[in-house]
A and B are shown apart, each in its own frame.
Chain A
Amino acid sequence: MNYIDFSLKVVGTRPIRPDGVDKVTGRAVFAADTRASGMLWGKILRSPHAHANIVSIDTTKAAALKGVFAVVTGQDFPEIASEEAFVGEGPMNFRDLSLNCMARTKVLYEGHALAAVAASTQEIADQALALIDVTYEVLPHVIDVEEAMAPGAPVLHADMFTAGVTPKPETASNISKVVTFKKGDIDAGFAEAEVIVEGRYTTQPVHQAYIEPHACLATYAPDGQVQIHSSSQGHFMIRAYVAKLLGMSISNIRVNPAEIGGGFGGKTLVYLEPVAVTLSKKSGRSVKMQMTREDVFRASGPTSGAAMTVKIGAKKDGTIVAAQQVLKFQAGAFAGSPIGPGCMCGFAMYDLPNVDVVGYDVVSNRPKVAAYRAPGAPITSFAVESLMDELAIKLGIDALTLREKNAAKNGTKTHYGPVHQNIGFTAVLDAVKAHPHWKSPLKEGHGRGLATGFWFNIGGESSAQVHVNEDGTVTAATGSPDIGGSRASIGMMVAEVLGVPATTVRTIVADTASIGFTFLTGGSRVTFATGMAATQAAEKVVEDLKRRAAQTWDIPVDAVEWKDGAAYPAGSNAGAFEPLDLAALALKAGRTGGPILAEVSINAQGAGPGFGAHICDVSVDKETGHVKIERYTAIQDVGKAIHPSYVEGQIQGGAAQGIGWALSEEYIYNSKGLMENAGFLDYRVPVASDMPMIEAVLVEVPNPRHPFGARGVGEVPIVPPMAAIANAIRSATGLRMPDLPMSPPKVRAALDAAG
Chain B
Amino acid sequence: MAKTYVSATINGESAEFLCETQQTLLDVLRDVIGLTGSKEGCGSGDCGACSVIVDDRLVCSCLMLGVEAEGKSITTIEGIANGDTLHPIQQKFLEYAALQCGFCTPGLIVATKALLDENPNPTETEARYWLAGNLCRCTGYDKVIRAVMDVAADMRGEKVA
Q: Which residues of A contact B (CB under 8 A)?
A: 14, 16-17, 19-30, 32-33, 123, 208-213, 259-264, 290, 292-293, 483-485, 643, 645-646, 648-650, 652-657, 679-681, 685-691, 693-694, 696
The chain A residue with its CB closest to the CB of B131 is: A688
Interface size class of B (residues with CB under 8 A): 35 or more
Contact status A693-B109, CB under 8 Å: no
* Cβ–Cβ contact B140 & A685, under 8 A: no
CB of A503 to closest CB in B, whole Å: 13
Whether B49 pairs with A694 at a CB distance below 8 angstroms is: no
* B76 close to A646 (CB less than 8 A): no
Residue among A21, A260, A262, A690 with the highest chain B CB neighbour number at 10 A: A262
Cβ of A696: which chain B residues have Cβ within 8 Å of it?
142
Which residues on the A side are within 8 Å of B101 (C-beta)? 210-212, 259-263, 483-484
Chain A residues with Cβ below 8 Å from B102 are 19, 22-24, 28, 259, 261
From the candidates A19, A33, A209, name the one contacting B137 in the complex (CB within 8 A).
Answer: A209
- In the bound complex, residues from chain B placing their C-beta under 8 Å from that of A27 are 37
Taking A211-B49, A485-B97, A680-B135 as known contacts, 6 extra A-B pairs with beta carbons closer than 8 A to each other, sorted by chain A number, are A261-B39, A263-B101, A293-B44, A649-B138, A653-B100, A657-B140
Of A20, A32, A209, A689, which contacts B132 at CB under 8 A?
Answer: A689
Residues of chain B touching chain A, judged by Cβ–Cβ distance below 8 Å, are 20, 22, 30, 35-44, 46-47, 49, 76-78, 80-81, 86, 90, 93-97, 99-106, 109, 125, 127-129, 131-146
Query: Lowest 9 A-B CB distances belong to which pairs?
Result: A26-B37, A261-B103, A656-B140, A23-B102, A645-B97, A680-B46, A26-B77, A484-B100, A652-B140
Most B Cβ at <10 Å: residue of A26, A259, A652: A26
Q: Is the CB of B38 within 8 A of A688?
A: no
CA distance A679 to B104 in the complex (A): 17
* Residues of chain B contacted by A648 (CB below 8 angstroms): 97, 142-143
The distance from the CB of B43 to the nearest CB of chain A, in whole angstroms, is 6
Contacts of A261 in B (CB 8 A): 39, 41, 101-104
CB <8 Å contact, A211 and B35: no
Does the CB pair A646–B134 fall under 8 Å? no
Contact of A30 with B135 in the complex, beta carbons under 8 Å:
no
In the complex, the answer to whether A211 meets B41 with C-beta atoms within 8 Å is yes
Q: What residues of B have a CB within 8 angstroms of the CB of A690 in the complex?
A: 132
> CB distance B42 to A293 under 8 Å?
yes
CB distance A679 to B44 under 8 Å?
yes
Asked whether, in the complex, the Cβ of A211 is within 8 Å of the Cβ of B100, the reply is no
> Inside 8 A of B145's CB, which chain A residues have their CB?
688, 693
* Chain A residues within an 8 Å CB radius of B22: 123
Closest residue on chain A to residue B34 by CB atoms: A35
Of B81, B96, B136, most buried by chain A (CB within 10 Å of CB) is B136
A24 and B128 contacting across the interface, CB-CB below 8 Å: no
The answer to whether B41 touches A213, judged by C-beta atoms less than 8 angstroms apart, is yes
Q: Which residue of B lies closest to A30 (CB)?
A: B103
Given contacts A19-B102, A25-B77, A30-B103, are A14 and B137 in contact (CB under 8 A)?
Answer: no
A646 CA / B1 CA spacing, docked (Å): 49
A30-B39, A652-B142 are known contacts. Are A685 and B106 too (CB-CB below 8 A)? no
In the docked arrangement, what's the CA distance between A137 and B36, Å? Answer: 43
User: How far is the CB of B67 from the nearest CB of chain A, in Å?
Assistant: 15
CA A652 – CA B97 in complex, angstroms?
12
Specify which of B37, B42, B94, B136 is in contact with A679 (CB 8 Å cutoff): B42
A residues less than 8 Å from B76 (CB atoms): 26
Instruction: Give bound CA distance, A17 to B96, whole Å.
Output: 11
CB of B79 to closest CB in A, whole Å: 9
Most chain A Cβ neighbours within 10 Å, of B43, B80, B141: B141
User: Complex Cα distance A262/B36, Å?
Assistant: 17
Pairwise interchain contact A24-B140, C-beta atoms closer than 8 A: no
B104 CB to nearest chain A CB (Å): 5
Q: Are B20 and A123 in contact (CB under 8 A)?
A: yes
B106 partner residues in chain A, CB cutoff 8 A: 24, 26
| Cβ-defined contact, A26 with B36, below 8 A | yes
B43: which of A16, A29, A264, A292 is its contact (CB, 8 Å)?
A292
Given contacts A25-B86, A689-B132, contact A484 B138 (CB under 8 A): yes
Contact present for B109 and A24 (CB under 8 Å): yes
Which residues of B sit under 8 angstroms from A19, Cβ to Cβ?
A: 102
- Tell me how far the C-beta of B27 lies from the nearest C-beta in chain A, rounded to whole angstroms: 8
Complexed CA–CA distance, A28 and B77 (Å): 12
Q: B144: which A residues are within 8 A, CB to CB? A: 688
In the bound complex, do residue B140 and residue A681 qualify as a contact, i.e. CB atoms below 8 Å apart?
A: no
Bound complex: CA of A656 vs CA of B138, how far in Å?
A: 8
